[in-house]
Structure 1
Amino acid sequence: MPMAENDCEGDLSPPAPVASLCVSTSPQARAKRKIAALMEEVENLKQDKATKQRKTTYYVSQGRALHRMVVLYTPIEDLVAENDRRCEEIDGDNTIEHNRLQRGYIELAKVLPWFHEKLADLDFEESADMLRKLKRGADSARGDDMGTLKELVASWVNIECRPASLIRPDDKHHRGFVNDACGRLLCPAEWRWEDPIVKAGIRDRTTTFIVSENSWPSFMYENYEADVQNLEHGLFKSRLLLMGFKAIFTSPSSANEVDGDGDGADILENNRRTRRRSDHARVKTCVASIIGMRKATPRAIAYTACQIRFALSNITSWRTVDGDFDYQMFWNNIVDFFEDPPGPAALTRVNKLLDWWTRKVFGRNHRQDLTPDVVKNMSVNSLAAQRQQMEDASFDSD
């Protein structure tokens, strides 16, 4: 029986057309709508890019305080990890290093008050990106400070020590222990640089005269000399250290202006300096104002000491270890001196020393110390309390 034509395999007849439901519009109108949609998409991309740029700028700017105020080398991730560990292990054993990390995290939360809450709101990739940008800002600030102090320290040493051969501001190779002036300032406090045996031993790097972070350098002391019978006396009261701090945190021009110790004898000179400063308009906000620093802190002093030590040395790039000298351990030793005193008497001396630093750097304005507990005992509030008591007594008598 013959097969029907429409039943044959491979029928190539065209399918029935599907009716279009589109409503005809103007080609020009369709083109305009496409352009508008594309322009909106471009604008959204620009806004996203601008938002990311603002975040990057903000994080990098905030990061400039990290090395100066919080840590020297320790990664921020280590501080966060230690705080997390303590939250999970309330009764865990804490080593000296654990305590250092946790104190660092607490200091980080003080310097960057937004950090703690922000970290909780971000996912892992966003938080890692934020930490990278903070570190970029920290490293950038350290590089800027290195460049500034490289020249300033040379001029200060030339004035303070009056070496026979002046130190060139642009030369690092002829500093360190090969230079008499720098060598005297870098010499450990327990030795005398003027002793030819000491000088030769340090320069030859003998085992008898190892220069490490376990010694306080002479530049840390008042008049650059230590009392070996009382090594705490004069420590951290060096003029060079103080000038370095002011150059970093207030301004290089302020480094040579050091206020007196507050005995009243220098009040006229301080007033003259104040008037002179007010005559010159400020063209740049200082680092201390940007990061909200109102008092000298142990970690800022430690950072300054590391920068001064580097500026006196003959190494040309920042590194953790210089010969037998470990900068991280040196920084730890300074921070531990202030933040981990052995007892109440030592704590009192530390607080007195920090007050001295604050007075030297920031003068005698103490408005930030007007806490509610202090203000309530002042005469305005005392009078208000007395008047209220009299009113209450009068009401009771009636």
Structure 2
Amino acid sequence: MARRRKRSPSPSASETSLQSSSSDSEDQSRHSHKKGSSKRKHTAHKSKKKDSSADPHEEYIAAARCITRCVDMFCKVDKVIDIGTLLKQHELADAGHLSEDEDEIAHRENQLSKLSQKTRDRYQLNYKRLLELAPGLKAFISSKDQKKTSELRKIIRKMESTISGTRSDDSTRLKIQIGKYVALDPAKHPVSPPIDDGSGRRSHMGINHPVLARFLCPIGEIDRFKEDPKATIECLQDGKIKLTADAFPAFLWKGDLPGDDYDPNDLMDGFLEGFTLERTMRHIFTGPSTALGSQSRGTRACNAVLHGMTTVDAAHIAYGCVQVRFGISSKNVWTEVDGDFKYRDFYRNIVDFIEDLPDEDREQLLKNWNLKLFNNEGGRDRAKDDTDDSGPSNARDGSSDLARLRAQMAARRSAAKTSTTNPECTAAPPAVARPPPAQENPPPTTPPPSSPAHKLLTPRPIPRPRPIPRPAKTPTPARPSTVQEDAPAPPPRTPLLSSPVRNVPPSRPVLSLPAKTTSRAPAETESQASSDKSDSDLTEPDEEDDEPRQKRRASAKQKGKSKAVEPISHEEPEPPARHKRKAAAPTKNTATRSTKKQKKK
């Protein structure tokens, strides 16, 4: 026979409630534990973020940003290091300070023979500037340790990504403001149709925009554009007019409109002086708030201060030209090639043209740009803060109030020094009238009665309780057996629940009955008899212990009803309770206490 499984007894309600409460507590503890663990993870993640924010390669990242804007915006750091190292070895070998194998010499000469002299000079200059901005690279470049070599590769990758990111960030920020920079007076005459149509797309810009097309038109075709703008725009769109890096755009020349002041017989007149290029240069190097000619309102240091830029060079101007050209174009994302136009070649052409200018022309061009950006032909002064540049120039000479205050303070200091060194020459200080000493305990001054301060300071009288009139002590008369007709019968007393014998004294005067002269002895005997009678009523025989509790209560109620009216005391009876309750019968303990007290008496 198959054995039957014993059924487990069903849990009771208390057990189920205990189980549910324990499960709830366990769930709460798990939830709180999860919360605590998540908080700890969050704090650990924050600490990791803080630790990661302190990048050990920050020196090289800052150098990469400076290289983008001030040295070479298309710089390849790995190539600059390789070619720069080969050029340095070539110089040392020519000077006789380096001993090499024939294979090493052949490899170096083979690499350098592919480069023109101008390209060599550019790489050598970039290598020199790279080591100036990031001197920590010297230890990695000269070391043959494999760990340092791998670390150098990481640094190079970070620097190249920073160069690309800086280029893209500047172009993205410039796109937001380019609509103001291409208008001669953006407050009164903005560009129409507007550049920012709210869609976020840029397909309507560049040569597809009737105003921006003139900015991008090659300067050699500007006369044709003036005669028939619509037909020239169609030729630009169809590719009949080529937009190449050699055909400089019209926005590089000055004029209320691009190319207005262009003279084909004097191309240098107004070249690199366009108002859009000037605003873009200020936007990048001195801050967007200075682009339209106002003073800087920025709370952070501008790029010129961060990069230690003191004067304008050819690389700065070329970087601004590239950013203007890309900001006007219809491209949404940065790219080096826009149709037939190549930004790398355009950048190199601008730099090479400025560097190839005669010394006087180049110096004059750079002075003009220093004046536009830093309000000084000599460039930005590193010793001065930005606030000092905008301050008055006569702050240190004698014509300013600040200079006179400093002179007076210096004279006082010198006079104080001479007085301390020569005590004979010291003059007595002038007598100064001192106020009378204040009394320790001055007499109190009472304000006049009409003033409100008198009412505040006058103490109020403390209320005192009224005296309760008490009747004169008179001998208590003997209670007659029958009630007299002259005096009214007192109301029946209701026993209190708390104490059947005592009453609380009243707060109002007691009406006493007219006293009658009687002998004291009968009164005492009668009061003693009444107290004996009350005590006898409260006491019960010992045989009642065997009776049930209900019989005892019934007998106590009957005795309470049949009890005679107690003698009138001098204390007024307590008013009856609002809610009448049944008086509890005295227990045996209270009855025995009362009998013991009576016996003692």
How far, CA to CA, are the matches of 1:195 and 1:104 in structure 2?
45
**C-alpha displacement of 1:216:** 1.2
Residue among 205, 210, 223 paired with 2:242: 210
Q: What one-letter code is carried by the residue in structure 2 that aligns with 1:302?
A: A
State the TM-score, normalizing by the size of structure 1: 0.67
How far, CA to CA, are the matches of 2:53 and 2:168 in structure 1?
25
Please say if residues 311 and 379 of structure 2, whose CA atoms lie closer than 8 Å, have aligned partners that are also in contact.
no
Aligned to 1:355: 367
Once the two structures are superposed, the pairs formed by residues 355-374 of structure 1 within 5 Å of their partners are 355-364=367-376, 368=381
Aligned to 2:304: 288
Tell whether 2:280 aligns with 1:244. yes
How far, CA to CA, are the matches of 1:247 and 1:296 in structure 2?
14
**Unaligned stretches of 5+ in structure 2?**
1-46, 95-111, 384-601
How far, CA to CA, are the matches of 1:185 and 1:366 in structure 2?
29
Please say if residues 172 and 315 of structure 1, whose CA atoms lie closer than 8 Å, have aligned partners that are also in contact.
yes
How far, CA to CA, are the matches of 1:62 and 1:98 in structure 2?
22
**C-alpha displacement of 1:290:** 1.0
Aligned to 1:190: 220
How far, CA to CA, are the matches of 1:87 and 1:69 in structure 2?
23
Aligned to 2:271: 235
**Unaligned stretches of 5+ in structure 1?**
1-45, 259-272, 371-398
Once the two structures are superposed, the pairs formed by residues 122-201 of structure 1 within 5 Å of their partners are 123-159=148-184, 162-168=190-196, 170-192=200-222, 193-196=225-228, 197-201=231-235
Q: Deviations over 1:284-331 (max 9, x none)?
A: 111111111111121121111111100000011111110000100000
Please say if residues 64 and 139 of structure 1, whose CA atoms lie closer than 8 Å, have aligned partners that are also in contact.
no
Please say if residues 311 and 380 of structure 2, whose CA atoms lie closer than 8 Å, have aligned partners that are also in contact.
no
Please say if residues 322 and 347 of structure 2, whose CA atoms lie closer than 8 Å, have aligned partners that are also in contact.
yes
Aligned to 1:73: 74
Aligned to 1:114: 135
Q: What one-letter code is carried by the residue in structure 2 that aligns with 1:97?
A: T
Shift in CA distance, 113/54, structure 1 to aligned 2, threshold 3 Å: closer
Shift in CA distance, 299/119, structure 1 to aligned 2, threshold 3 Å: farther
How far, CA to CA, are the matches of 1:317 and 1:337 in structure 2?
28
Aligned to 1:60: 61
Asked which structure has the greater RCO (Cα within 8 Å, sep 6+), the reply is 1
**C-alpha displacement of 1:201:** 1.7
Q: What one-letter code is carried by the residue in structure 2 that aligns with 1:255?
A: A
- Three-state SS of the structure 1 residue aligned to 2:309 is coil
Shift in CA distance, 86/162, structure 1 to aligned 2, threshold 3 Å: same
Q: What one-letter code is carried by the residue in structure 2 that aligns with 1:215?
A: A
Q: Deviations over 1:244-286 (max 9, x none)?
A: 111111110011117xxxxxxxxxxxxxx5xxx6xx6x52111
Please say if residues 174 and 314 of structure 1, whose CA atoms lie closer than 8 Å, have aligned partners that are also in contact.
yes
Shift in CA distance, 120/51, structure 1 to aligned 2, threshold 3 Å: farther
State the TM-score, normalizing by the size of structure 2: 0.46
Once the two structures are superposed, the pairs formed by residues 84-95 of structure 1 within 5 Å of their partners are 84-90=85-91, 94-95=115-116
Q: Deviations over 1:88-139 (max 9, x none)?
A: 33476550433333333334345x1526635435632111111122223222
Aligned to 2:121: 99
Shift in CA distance, 348/137, structure 1 to aligned 2, threshold 3 Å: same
- Three-state SS of the structure 2 residue aligned to 1:65 is helix
Shift in CA distance, 178/367, structure 1 to aligned 2, threshold 3 Å: closer
How far, CA to CA, are the matches of 2:180 and 2:87 in structure 1?
47
Aligned to 1:221: 253
Q: What one-letter code is carried by the residue in structure 1 that aligns with 2:310?
A: R
Please say if residues 206 and 329 of structure 2, whose CA atoms lie closer than 8 Å, have aligned partners that are also in contact.
yes
Corresponding residue pairs, total: 297
Q: Deviations over 1:324-349 (max 9, x none)?
A: 001000000011012233xxxx1220
How far, CA to CA, are the matches of 2:364 and 2:137 in structure 1?
31
**C-alpha displacement of 1:355:** 1.2
**C-alpha displacement of 1:200:** 2.4
- Three-state SS of the structure 1 residue aligned to 2:56 is helix
How far, CA to CA, are the matches of 1:347 and 1:298 in structure 2?
13
Tell whether 2:348 aligns with 1:332. yes
How far, CA to CA, are the matches of 1:230 and 1:119 in structure 2?
51
- Three-state SS of the structure 2 residue aligned to 1:230 is coil
Shift in CA distance, 248/53, structure 1 to aligned 2, threshold 3 Å: same
**C-alpha displacement of 1:142:** 1.8
Q: Which has the larger radius of gyration?
A: 2
Shift in CA distance, 202/336, structure 1 to aligned 2, threshold 3 Å: same
How far, CA to CA, are the matches of 2:52 and 2:204 in structure 1?
48
How far, CA to CA, are the matches of 1:229 and 1:119 in structure 2?
53
How far, CA to CA, are the matches of 2:85 and 2:244 in structure 1?
34
How far, CA to CA, are the matches of 1:369 and 1:322 in structure 2?
39
